[in-house]
Structure 1
Amino acid sequence: MEEFDIGPELRNLVQLLHDEERDLSPPPRRFPSVSMEEVEDEDQHDPLPSSPHPFAFPTRPTLYPEPYDHPTAGFAMFFYEVPKSPPPLYNTKLTDPDTFKEAYWLANLRCSQRAKNPYFELPRTRCWYWKNMSELNQDVDLLPHGPEWRCRTLRIPGDSSDVIVHLWMRDIVELVRHLIGNRRFMDQMRFAPELHWASDDRSQRVYDEMWSGDWWWRMQNIIKDGSTIAPIIIAADKTHLTRFSGNKYAWPVYLSIGNISKDIRKRPSERATLLLGFIPVHDLKHISNKEHRSERSWQLFHTCLELMLEPLKTASIKGVEMLCADGGVRRVHPILAAYIADHPEQVTVACTRRNRCPICLVPAKERGDWSKWYDVRTVRQTLDALEDYWEGYSQTIVELGIRPTRPFWEELPYFNMATCLTPDLLHQLNKGMFGEHIVNWCTAILGADELDRRTQSMPRFSKLRHFSEGISPLTQWTGMEAKALGSTFVPLIADSPDGEMVTAARSIVDFMYRAHKPELSEDDLAAMEKNLEEFHDAKHVFINPENKHLLKDQDHFNDIPKLHMLTHFVDIIRELGAPDGYNTEITERLHIDYVKVPWDTTNHVNALQQMAIYIQRQESWALLRAYLFETGQLEDEDGHEEILGDEEMGDDEGELEAGDQDPGEGEIWHPNPRLWIAKRPSLGTRTGYDLMKRHRAPDLITSTKNYLAQLTNDPSSLALSEHSKFKVWARFRLHHDPLPFFPAAEPQTHHTTRSGAFDVVLIAPEGDSEVEGLHRFQAGRVRVIFEVPRYLQDLCSEKLAYVELFRPFSQGMAQPASLYTTGHMMRNQKRCTAVVPISRIRMAIHLVPRYELLDFDGAITAKTDLLSIHNSFFLNKYVSHFHFIVMEYWQKQREAREQ
């Protein structure tokens, strides 16, 4: 029996009673092995130094990768011939697609096994292959699945009794083998580090995937050239098993590898992140001393992680031969590279106190000071301090803010604390600095009623959450709510008399938007550093001892760990790539598949064992689904989903060609989306009078005549009146392809217009224009989407839009919010309107009223149409990340031209 003596000594707080390996499937596993043919590949055995690196190829046309300087990095020792179609791995009735679909549906119902049994008693299923869920599960247990589960039992001594806890876990090396050999990820995988450049002259580094960061490149220098590194990504987060169970918790630990693209890792349906194990959760009330209880709790966490990661102590150094997704056999070195966690768990991992930074040595009372820089923590320094403590000298751990805990990484090769803890976009930025601090401080300055009034009357925009009751009813922010408010917050407060408040808020929101980019250049990182500097220069505006919702003095910024952690974002991005690949939101989503749903299927007795069985069966189902998809027997239902928004257009929509393409050789990109609109008019046929009244389009007939007059030599023949009948549509879609200057951003679909909202759009000029960027376009509010009557179709068959026009955008941005402004275009105290082909509409935009200039005596509610009542607006570049990237691009191009 292997033991860790748990007694009063702090080095040993957990005793391993049993290393019991519990095979959750009946032996033997009855499926044939994979037959492969070994193929010699001389080029792979002895690559020439000048030959192109096989893994350094651009993921997009405007990315210039530089391969690792030794061509054998990530190379295979030899290759197996990977068949184009998978071999017949299964010999089971579940491979019948119809049977699979029905059994898969039943097995994945979110209820207990007993609750599913009545399904087998239905007339249509009485002659099924199985009589109950037990028989079905027996067949599922014979299918291939992921690595086996095992249980380790640990004893935690207390004052007068001991507590026994169970650690459920899987072999981490086998999980890595499972992931790196998954053929599904073959096209989204790398085996060697790269440097990414924005241009061929290599003047601008770009950081996106983990293999583009400095950590992997530096680690490849340490490991011998012919080896392959598998960067281990660990994520852990204690979570409620159910919102109704009070103190019922689970503490799952997830694992993925940096060889797989972050776009795949972020999607739970791809199963590129697997469950490594469950850390046991116990209140340890059998230990009366609170300090000792905390120490035992910390040690339990570290002991469990040490057991989970124990195989890495050898595998990281010696490597393990693994069959990879491309058929190559490589010597893989799995090395812990990244740990995804919120702040409480980060300090637990680093063995630091809650009031200290887990990454650097900044004193607790100086965390809010931007002007000073401190050395990062090192493994050796922490271990030496702990050794001093155990030998009776405690001053060192007090000065360094270290907890007396034997860390799991004590003997872990190549562990680097300063680069391992990843930025937490959810808790440190969205919900943290923005949701919990910036919003509350600005509310205290502006007043809750005023901010509610503004959020209630905010003009609508597709996919933008509208706070119809304001934000004061929100007592606890979610990540989605914080992001939704962040998309309107800067223009919401932009005209406040307190300019420093606007500067401070805008700098944090800018930092937040840049940190969420899927790809960051050195210019982006410099801009993030500038954003932090701007915030610290203006943060004194949030100090007011007389306002209980603001800070009493400068020292209170030291009590905000989230603020200090932002200073480490840039360095860690350079090490590990873009933070969106390490967002704790990924963990929150994984809890559903690996914790919440499995818990619901148990009887809550020995729940972790039942959950482990359920998860293993889910992996069997996933592997079988992937097999049926590869063999063409099943459609891939886990692929990309196109989100159509709040109103899907249906099957009768068609694509229209957009306007003339901008010259491909042009220096400045301009949007030219594909336009989709229903083939049949969704609002039917309406008279001109009806449209003029219901759509508030009083000049519809006049503007339509003016447009048609440009198309004919005989304007007098245009017989249009308010009695004429028009085919009318409620909406159309603008689909933007990936941006050529930033292809990492997802393609966008803008909906224009939603019923009752009348979206604002950018309208391209008619014909050629020398103006570039934002000022090339004019804003217009779409009131009607229509076709002219049938008798005028020979003259104009295009679908048209009646728009209310806005003035050209301001030449400069209004400071300190850095937003462009516009207003109604008027002639003789009347709104200017026009009719334009919808092919000239290039982008949906969001205009926000300048509330400080609002002159309106009536009550402002969620139904108030401020786009009509008010006459001065900000162009909201924060309404989506797509808009932020485009507006930032145009601004950079303009600044470059003016230099």
Structure 2
Amino acid sequence: MPQTRHCQFNVHLLPCTHPGCCRQLKNKSALTQHLRTIHQHLFRIPERCPPSATAEVPDKPENRPKVNFMRDYHLGLDGRICNKAGQFIDPKAPPPAFTTKSPDDWTPFPGADIDKVLHFWGITLAVHGDTPPFADRKDLHNVIDNTPLGDVPWESFNMEYAGDRSGGETPWMKKEYEVFYCDPHKVVQNMLANPDYKDEIDFAPYREWEERPDGSHNRQWRDFMSGDWAWEQADIISADPATHGSTFIPIILGSDKTTVSVATGQNDYYPLYLSIGNVHNNVRQAHRNAVALVGFLAIPKTTKKQSTDPRYRKFKKELFHTALVRILESIRPAMTTPEVARCADGHYRCVIYGIGPYIADYEEQVVLAGIVRKWCCKCTAQLSNLDGDGGPRSRELLDALIEEVNLGTLWDEWGFIADITLFTNNFLRADIYKLIAPDLLHQIIKGIFKDHLVAWVQLYLEDTHSEARAKEIMDDIDRRIAVAPSFSGLRRFPEGRGFSQWTGDDSKALMKVYLSAIEGHVPTEMVRTFRTCLEFCYIARHDIITDDTLKDMEDVIQWFHVYREIFKTTGVRDHFSLPRQHSISHYPFLVRQFGAPNGLCSSITESKHIKAVKEPWRRSRKFNALGQMVRTNTRIDQLAAARIDFTERGMLYGTCASSYTTYFERKHARTILNLGKELHLPELPTLLQYFLYDQLYADDNHTSADVPLLRCPNYTGRIQVVNSAVATYFAPSDPSGVGGMHREHIRSTPSWRGGPPRYDCVFVSMDNTTDGINGMDIARVLSFFSFSFRNTVWLCAVVHWFKRIGSKPDEDMGMWMVRPSMNDDQSHEISIIHVDSIFRAAHLVPMFGDKFVPEHVNFHNSLDAYMGFYVNRFADHHAFEIAS
């Protein structure tokens, strides 16, 4: 069989201006602006209606008023530039040189060998006959250790119990607990000066809004400095005239225990992470050195019997808070007196620090806030009714209560543990109750979705049906999850949701396909409970949240509370006084305080575990591994700093190829006639003629449907068939690259990973004057091919169309419905379209109803096995916006 090199279309897939006359934006800046314009148009969520009512269709985009974006910066702490002496200078002055090093100074790396390293390692990755740049691993490590940039030394200190021993000493009282840390002050200075962030950092708090023609305002929140908390802190700081013109630097902290191995004994570590609120959320999400490991906290352990000792439980909390105070001590002086620091844009500024939000899951929030477990960390709502009335917790409230009531009353009636000194009490302007960050991963995705709703569905089935029938239904739910069609970036679950250890990524992936899996097996109200839970998650994940979005969020919270009552009426639950479910009521306020929650989610710290803890542990000798892990992290930071330095001096721009990968696949057809035979579509040559006419001659008054076939251009030359296309679009709410641009592969291949075929579905733009799904159709790509005709290269797709069912989304599922579009002779409706008319990939999930999945159906053929599908708007956040 001949070997042919695989290639793919690598094009920007955009809405076309006319379905028969697609145009491609060639200019990169115009492309980016076009994509941003598409994204920034907000899509309203349909009104949530009770079961007896009918959901309304979203507002038509053409009826929405045009808006202008406006921004105000804080006048006191406005981030003015200064010189190294702290004297303010002309705001138009150019920044000083980033470094005095020459562009050929590779210190400490061997400069004579650097081109060889880039060439051989970057292109061939093969053994070569020249002398390697490093003699051995030790030599390489020595060179890295000599890198002067990014080297923040690690230190340690020991702590031990100093409390009451009158009841007798126990082993945990005699131990010393070692804490490793690196100076957070130096870490913050390095982070602030990182030139990688020069276009993605805010030096002053700001407020932003849309101004409509009618004079009304629509406030919007995005990155951290757009929130009210940063503005309020600037108000407090700027009361001192000596701080005017300074830059406020909020210190964002996060910690979370993690286990690296259970096979060789329980190996737990307690990393402490740090970031600054000035960098944009997408930078923090992408871990472009904007989330730094600054410590490993101690984890005291004892026997199960001694673990219930009140002295031990108090000591663990005190150990945690005391360690944080000690680690953060170096930042304290610059919390009152501004210091001069180099910033990412090259300028110097007077900066003043403050303790900002703390990212943690609920169990750690309890320790942070010094409250009794099962109470809320943010408010004083009673334990028996968390969704009832309760004022905000605060340091002032606790101080006042301590003067009036005893410790027992504080515990029982207010949920305060008042004999613990919280770390924030040692720092100016810090109140931990106001600094607990929203946590989408642990509160909503792992908490409400996984631990509550998914578990409650199983309890409902077991309570409602016989044991055998309940297992049968649960098996079918697993089958439905397993047969969900493939989709770019979607994790598959071959065995359904039946796995014991759920990761955060597992929970996020399962959310995308679980809703359709339970339809027909549970009451409608349960389906709607899941739907509103998912809608809340996706609304909260927006990169830009407006007053209108907050109204949608509050609306979803209200209906979630209405629909979840089904779990009471069916006997699954007797109350909903659960901290994680209660936490969603605080999100609208937290958005106003801290900006979009996706910049403070614990998924940021959890994913950081991989590079900062788990991979360094695997590289260690496993014995006394912590010191080795610290050394590995130091080297990683030094290499990252060296890369930034070399990049800033223009030393990493060269000829090193990023990829020379070649894929060998089956031979495709070389003519349109043979492609038609390959796809079992004999009409394909005719469709190509119609396509060419529409591209060359069609206008708003006529298309190929209005002319005889003989008048359409004919092409019989060679074509090139490829198996995928790359869609590039603006999707900052999803994990994405610089500036919010996202890439995904759309597959159309007769054999996916050596198995059955995969033909993905796509959104096709039909009317670019209408936003969202109302201006699009759904199609399935059967083949990508290109050819040259009249000095133009045409990039095409053969598609099978889907037809919309109804004029609005399903009122229970909240998703649009489609079915395969058929001709009068019951053959599939097929067309050839230009790839520029493809907006992005679409994910369809079958409409299972109350039928069980047949044994022959799997994820490869489910798009062929069913005749009705939901357009899955929960596939990702961008799909949620366009398919609502």
TM-score by length of structure 2 reads 0.76
Q: Residue 796 of structure 2 contacts residue 833 of structure 2 at CA under 8 Å; is this kept in 1? A: yes
Q: Residue 688 of structure 1 contacts residue 726 of structure 1 at CA under 8 Å; is this kept in 2? A: no
Query: Within the alignment, does 1:533 sit opposite 2:551 as a pair?
Result: no
- Tell me, what secondary structure is at the counterpart of 2:424? coil
- Counterpart CA distance in 2 for 1:773 and 1:477 is 34
- Counterpart CA distance in 2 for 1:741 and 1:624 is 30
Aligned to 1:431: 446
- Tell me, what secondary structure is at the counterpart of 2:849? helix
Q: Residue 806 of structure 1 contacts residue 823 of structure 1 at CA under 8 Å; is this kept in 2? A: yes
Aligned to 1:695: 679
Quick one: which of 404, 407, 410 aligns to 1:396?
A: 410
1:196-595 to structure 2, matched below 5 A, reads 196-199=208-211, 203-224=217-238, 225-268=244-287, 270-285=288-303, 290-367=309-386, 369=387, 372-383=388-399, 385=401, 393-403=407-417, 404-445=419-460, 447-471=473-497, 473-494=498-519, 498-543=523-568, 550-551=572-573, 553=574, 555=575, 557-558=576-577, 560-595=578-613
- Counterpart CA distance in 1 for 2:345 and 2:310 is 52
Q: Residue 846 of structure 1 contacts residue 875 of structure 1 at CA under 8 Å; is this kept in 2? A: yes
Query: Within the alignment, does 1:149 sit opposite 2:154 as a pair?
Result: yes
Change (3 A) 1:318 1:343: same
Is the deviation greater in 750-759 or in 580-589? 750-759
Change (3 A) 1:570 1:835: same
Quick one: which of 171, 186, 191 aligns to 1:174?
A: 186
Q: Give the Å deviation of 1:123.
A: 10
Quick one: which of 86, 99, 107 aligns to 1:86?
A: 99
* 1:125-173: CA deviation from partner (whole Å, max 9, x where unpaired): 69x7767727952772462434333322222256156111222223333
1:598-677 to structure 2, matched below 5 A, reads 598-604=616-622, 606-635=624-653
Question: Where in structure 2 are there 5+ consecutive unaligned residues?
Answer: 1-34, 41-67, 82-86, 122-127, 239-243, 462-472, 694-703, 751-756
Q: Give the Å deviation of 1:185.
A: 2.2
- Counterpart CA distance in 1 for 2:108 and 2:520 is 68
Q: Residue 528 of structure 2 contacts residue 813 of structure 2 at CA under 8 Å; is this kept in 1? A: yes
Q: Residue 758 of structure 2 contacts residue 860 of structure 2 at CA under 8 Å; is this kept in 1? A: no
- Tell me, what secondary structure is at the counterpart of 2:423? coil
* 1:472-510: CA deviation from partner (whole Å, max 9, x where unpaired): x22232222222222233344456672211211100000
Q: Which amino acid aligns with 2:279?
A: I
Change (3 A) 1:752 1:327: closer
* 1:408-440: CA deviation from partner (whole Å, max 9, x where unpaired): 122321113343111112111222211222233
Q: Residue 815 of structure 2 contacts residue 883 of structure 2 at CA under 8 Å; is this kept in 1? A: no
Q: Give the Å deviation of 1:794.
A: 7.0
- Counterpart CA distance in 1 for 2:179 and 2:118 is 31
The CA RMSD over aligned residues, in Å, is 4.2
Q: Residue 734 of structure 1 contacts residue 842 of structure 1 at CA under 8 Å; is this kept in 2? A: no
- Counterpart CA distance in 2 for 1:261 and 1:772 is 27
- Counterpart CA distance in 1 for 2:622 and 2:692 is 72
* 1:713-750: CA deviation from partner (whole Å, max 9, x where unpaired): 774699999xx997462434253443799997543445
Query: Within the alignment, does 1:685 sit opposite 2:670 as a pair?
Result: yes
Q: Give the Å deviation of 1:582.
A: 1.1
Q: Give the Å deviation of 1:530.
A: 1.1
Q: Give the Å deviation of 1:346.
A: 0.7
- Tell me, what secondary structure is at the counterpart of 1:830? coil
Query: Within the alignment, does 1:851 sit opposite 2:836 as a pair?
Result: no
Aligned to 2:78: 73
Change (3 A) 1:431 1:649: farther
Aligned to 1:13: none
- Counterpart CA distance in 1 for 2:814 and 2:115 is 56
Number of aligned positions between the proteins: 758
- Counterpart CA distance in 2 for 1:94 and 1:702 is 62
1:873-888 to structure 2, matched below 5 A, reads 873-888=869-884
Q: Give the Å deviation of 1:237.
A: 1.1
Change (3 A) 1:601 1:763: closer
Quick one: which of 735, 742, 750 aligns to 1:747?
A: 742
Q: Give the Å deviation of 1:92.
A: 3.8
Q: Give the Å deviation of 1:247.
A: 2.6
* 1:812-853: CA deviation from partner (whole Å, max 9, x where unpaired): 222122222222333445134233233444443222222117
* 1:198-226: CA deviation from partner (whole Å, max 9, x where unpaired): 34656111111111000011111111233
- Tell me, what secondary structure is at the counterpart of 1:220? helix
Is the deviation greater in 59-68 or in 162-171? 59-68
- Tell me, what secondary structure is at the counterpart of 2:186? helix
Q: Residue 179 of structure 2 contacts residue 297 of structure 2 at CA under 8 Å; is this kept in 1? A: yes
- Counterpart CA distance in 1 for 2:412 and 2:320 is 21
TM-score by length of structure 1 reads 0.75
Aligned to 1:893: none
Change (3 A) 1:401 1:493: same
Q: Which amino acid aligns with 1:618?
A: I
* 1:71-100: CA deviation from partner (whole Å, max 9, x where unpaired): 663223335964455211878441527359
- Tell me, what secondary structure is at the counterpart of 2:217? coil
* 1:547-584: CA deviation from partner (whole Å, max 9, x where unpaired): xxx33x2x2x22x3211111112211111111111121
Aligned to 1:781: 780
Q: Which amino acid aligns with 1:87?
A: T
- Counterpart CA distance in 2 for 1:91 and 1:299 is 47
- Counterpart CA distance in 2 for 1:235 and 1:872 is 45
* 1:636-669: CA deviation from partner (whole Å, max 9, x where unpaired): 9999x9xxxxxx99799xxxxxxxxxxxxxxxxx
Higher RCO, Cα 8 Å, sep 6+: 2
- Tell me, what secondary structure is at the counterpart of 1:230? strand
